[in-house]
Structure 1
Amino acid sequence: MTGRLADNVALFGRALRAAGLPVGPGAVVDAVGAVEAAGIARREDLYWTLHSVFVTRHEQSAVFDAAFRLFWRRRGFLEKLLSEMSPIAPAERAREKPKPGESRVLEAMRPQRKEAPEEVVEHEVSARLTTSDRDVLKERDFAQMSAAEIARAKRLIQALVLPDDSRPTRRMTTDPRGRHVDLRASLRRSLRGGGAAIELAHRSRTVRPPPIVALVDISGSVAEYSRLFLHFLHALAERRRRVQSFVFATRLTNVTRELAHRDPDDALARAATRVRDWEGGTRIASALHDFNQTWSRRVLGQGAVVLLFTDGLEREVESDLAFEADRLHRSCRRLVWLNPLLRFGAFEARAAGIRALLPHVDEFRPIHSLASMEDLVRALGPGQGKDAKPARFLRAAS
């Protein structure tokens, strides 16, 4: 295939690479050959042909979709795109937020301004974020971040540290200053000396942080937020915290072993390979039932804290949703519901799934930005129990 179509496919691949997708020259050649073999009778044929070549992971679909809609428009789309990004755009258009994935695509298609050499060198030397930039980034919605902002957010997530919330467990460990007498160890010591004298051995309860169990919704409605939350879980596991991670859309999948890999991007790629229902529908009741039936007794010991990450928009609200949520609540020490919909100030608990879950959680928190993630870290610290319900939970439940 030659001509303008081949050139446009090459330019489209270059735009995807600038937007963060790993598109190389080989992929562009394959895409040109695939379009030539499949034909372009319909727009949908071109979409799925290029999608099959350029998209290699589930999380890349949103960026590809936004790039395709912006690139393959009718004649004059580039001039219209430049006019929308100009400083004299209408005020009402400037207030509109881009859809998920469009921010980094717009950034990739924006023409780069040539700067003086001394300015470029100065920008490369100053690699750290200033205080004002960091504050703005912390308040930025995850779905509206560009590719560079997402990379910075991942670095800041890796720097988050949970406070020391260690607490005594049922397990005992040897402790010379312990309050409990270790009878077996004391008898073994007496046998070494012939049994003439008994030297008492002591022990105390083991002190360690409680395990964290995360149930993460990866359906299409919250995919932009769940990916960065999985980075947060990877950072917790990397600091030797006991973290059990499960993802669900239409089925429940344990990705704890995949997130244990050192590199966060590699860990998420392994998790995405194993999960088959990424960005699918939502079946919260079925996922909670599978967890309570199969995994609850295995991972909810020693005062585990459960983080339920979902928007609560159940595809088919079933009567057993409240029952499974109540069973989960009774099995753990603390159940925290993280909902990206709380980013809206006028949020109301009207959906049937949300109303079914609310009575059975201890806390109801937003999870849409770095600032909300930092609030979650502080809330998981010591002194936060089942009675510590934030004011926002009370307003949403009323």
Structure 2
Amino acid sequence: MQRIPTGMIDHLNPPTGMMADNVVGFARALRAAGLPVGPGAVIDALQALQLIDVGCRADVYATLQSIFVKRHEHVLIFAQAFELFFRAAEEWQHMLDSIPLPDHAKKKPPPASRRVQEALAQASQAIDKAEEQQELRLSVSDHEVLQKKDFAQMSAAEIAEVTRAIAKMRLPQAELRTRRQAPDRHGRRLDLRRTLRASLRAGGEIVDIRKLGPLDKPSPIVALLDISGSMSEYTRLFLHFLHAITDDRKRVSTFLFGTRLTNVTRALRARDPDDALQSCTAAVEDWAGGTRISASLHAFNKLWSRRVLGQGAIVLLISDGLERDADGQLAFEIDRLHRSCRRLIWLNPLLRYAGFEAKAQGIKMMLPHVDEFRPVHNLTSMHALVEALSAPPPPHHRTLIRSAA
């Protein structure tokens, strides 16, 4: 195994030398990529590197990994960042071409590799002050344009910006009154058990009346996302949105359908959004294929309806409604779904057009059985959806909400 010359080791040994600069820069890149790396970890890494032979790349890799990686899902991100960062360092170039990484780092680049590359690019570039001020002056107007721009018309950079904006979305807890009772100081019902226990602590001489009140819980959300070819330009961003609200409130169930139904609820619970979307892609066999809404709704009503539609669930049906085999069965299945949930919201990207009319046979069959019909094609419509989910439910009647842009 190749070694760094002794003179270079002596140069890197002092914590204020080139080794310290590399470790600090590497820590900043990891923090930008999403790893929780603080100043204490940097100090620990510098001290640990004094105890090993920095000429052995495998030892350096293992040492930094043991200090900077605290969660299993960060292992692959660290491996990708280590390879990219130290490959650019001139002092390490001759080692990286000849010394292999550990076996678990030779695998296919992780789903977050693009995010790692962006983080390293940000850490290695110094922005001129004049250019930074110009960027700040343009950011407000650019932000307004991005809010109303159609997802299908965005560039790769704009999609990346929208993805970051979606990840910051939080769904306020819209509470639903249940029949269960919970301890409540201002409740109207006597809690006899807790009252007797409290009096026994005082020997039965003092009776402190304990009361019960109704328990409020957030409504479960069930999302049915169309991943057919006609929805391919919107599917990934919708998955980012569902991952954001799934991370915020755990009572979210997500199903993908094209020609068949796939439950990806567990995959979307991963902390890292790239890992979550990668797991969803691996679990689905009919990505960007045909559309069989009727068969998919039938599978959901038969296998999953009783499991996930309890306690006043809200269903989000995200589809353009372009059914492959529109027949009477579709109307039956959508009506059954509507009767099983508390609120059925249909999110259709086609509603962004001002002249939209329900001419397709599938849309005509589904529209009478939904509570709300909303567009979902840009950030503005997503924010409107979050507000609608957080607000009390409207009166029970069908609502058609047109796009504002």
TM-based fold match above 0.5: yes
Q: Relative to structure 2, which stretch is displaced further, 244-253 or 170-179?
A: 170-179
**Secondary structure at 2:281's aligned position in 1?**
helix
Alignment counterpart, residue 287 of structure 2, candidates 278, 284, 293:
278
Alignment partner of 2:390: what SS? coil
SS at match of 1:380: helix
- Report the Cα distance in structure 2 between the residues aligned to 1:271 and 1:161, rounded to whole angstroms: 22
Residue matched to 1:355: 364
Instruction: Give the structure 1 partner of residue 391 of structure 2.
Output: 382
- Please provide the CA RMSD for this pair: 3.1
Would the aligned equivalents of 1:334 and 1:386 in 2 still touch at CA under 8 Å?
Answer: no
Per the TM alignment, residue 392 of structure 1 is displaced from its structure 2 partner at its CA by 4.0
Amino acid aligned to 2:176: R
* Aligned equivalents of 1:294, 1:148: Cα separation in 2: 40
CA distance, structure 2, for counterparts of residue 204 and residue 298 of structure 1: 27
Deviation at residue 383 of structure 1 after TM alignment: 3.1
Separation in 1, partners of 2:361, 2:327 = 9
Q: Are residue 176 (structure 1) and residue 185 (structure 2) matched?
A: yes
Report the 3-state secondary structure (helix = DSSP H, G, I; strand = E; otherwise coil) of the residue aligned with 2:166: helix
Map of 1:113 onto structure 2: none
In structure 2, C-alpha distance between the alignment counterparts of 1:288 and 1:239, rounded to whole Å = 27
Rounded to whole Å, the distance in 2 between the matches of 1:372 and 1:148 is: 20
The amino acid of 2:233's aligned partner reads: E
CA contact (8 A) 1:164 1:382 kept: no
In structure 2, C-alpha distance between the alignment counterparts of 1:265 and 1:121, rounded to whole Å:
33
Q: Does the CA contact (< 8 Å) of 2:171 and 2:248 recur in 1?
A: no
| Inter-partner Cα distance in structure 2 for 1:236 and 1:179 | 34
Corresponding residue to 2:217 among 194, 201, 208: 208
Distance in 2 between the 1:206 and 1:126 partners? Answer: 52
Measured after TM superposition, the shift of residue 309 of structure 1 is: 0.3
Counterpart of 1:330 in structure 2 is 339
Contact in 2 for aligned 1:363/1:390 (Cα 8 Å):
yes
Q: CA deviation at 1:199?
A: 5.2
Structure 1 pair 200–377 and aligned structure 2 pair: CA distance change class (3 A): same
Amino acid at match of 1:262: R
**Corresponding residue to 1:291 among 288, 297, 300:** 300
Quote the offset at 1:240 in angstroms: 2.4
Could you tell me how far apart the structure 1 residues matched to 2:304 and 2:316 are? 15
Which AA in structure 2 matches 1:385?
Answer: P
Counterpart of 2:15 in structure 1 is none
**Structure of larger gyration radius:** 2
CA distance in 1, matches of 2:189, 2:323: 50
User: Given the two structures, how large is their TM-score scaled by the length of structure 2?
Assistant: 0.63
Q: 1:118 to 1:185 in 2, by over 3 A?
A: closer
Q: Which runs of structure 2 are paired with 1:241-256 in the superposition (5 Å)?
A: 241-256=250-265
| Unmatched 5+ stretches in structure 2 | 1-79, 81-107, 112-124
CA contact (8 A) 2:347 2:374 kept: yes
8 Å CA contact 2:370–2:398 kept in 1: the answer is no
- The Cα shift of 1:284 comes to 0.6
1:175–1:203: 8 Å Cα contact kept in structure 2? yes
Say yes or no: does 1:258 pair with 2:267. yes
- One of 328, 346, 371 as aligned partner of 2:355: 346
Q: Which residue does 1:108 correspond to in 2?
A: none
SS of aligned partner of 1:306: strand
**In structure 2, do the counterparts of structure 1 residues 359 and 192 end up closer, same or farther at CA, with 3 Å as the change threshold?**
same
Deviation at 1:195, TM superposition (A): 7.1
The amino acid that maps onto 1:223 is S
CA distance in 1, matches of 2:206, 2:258: 64
Task: Tell me the distance in 1 between the aligned counterparts of 2:267 and 2:401.
Answer: 34
**Uncovered stretches (5+) of structure 1, i.e. residues with no partner:** 1-21, 23-53, 58-116, 394-398
User: How does the TM-score come out when normalised to structure 1?
Assistant: 0.64
Deviation at 1:184, TM superposition (A): 3.8
Name the CA distance, whole Å, in 2 between partners of 1:316 and 1:264. Answer: 34
The answer to which of 271-280 and 187-196 deviates more is 187-196
Distance verdict in 2 for CA 1:272–1:177, change over 3 Å: same
Residue 168 of structure 2 corresponds to 159
The question of whether the paired residues in 2 share the 8 Å contact of 1:334 and 1:385 is answered with: no
**What's the CA shift for 1:339?**
0.5
Matched, 1:367 2:362: no
Distance 1:126 1:160 in 2: 27
Distance in 2 (CA, whole Å) between partners of 1:209 and 1:377 is: 14
Equivalent pairs counted in the alignment come to 284
CA–CA distance in 2 between the matches of 1:208 and 1:268? Answer: 28
SS of the residue corresponding to residue 304 of structure 2 reads: helix
Are residue 217 (structure 1) and residue 218 (structure 2) matched?
A: no
What is the SS of the residue equivalent to 1:250? coil
Aligned to 1:92: none
8 Å contact kept, 1:139–1:370: yes
The 3 A distance-change label for structure 1 pair 55 and 315 is farther
Contact 1:209 1:241 in 2 (8 A): no
Deviation at 1:164, TM superposition (A): 4.1
Q: Deviation per CA, 1:18-74: give whole Å up to 9, x if none.
A: xxxx9xxxxxxxxxxxxxxxxxxxxxxxxxxxxxxx9999xxxxxxxxxxxxxxxxx
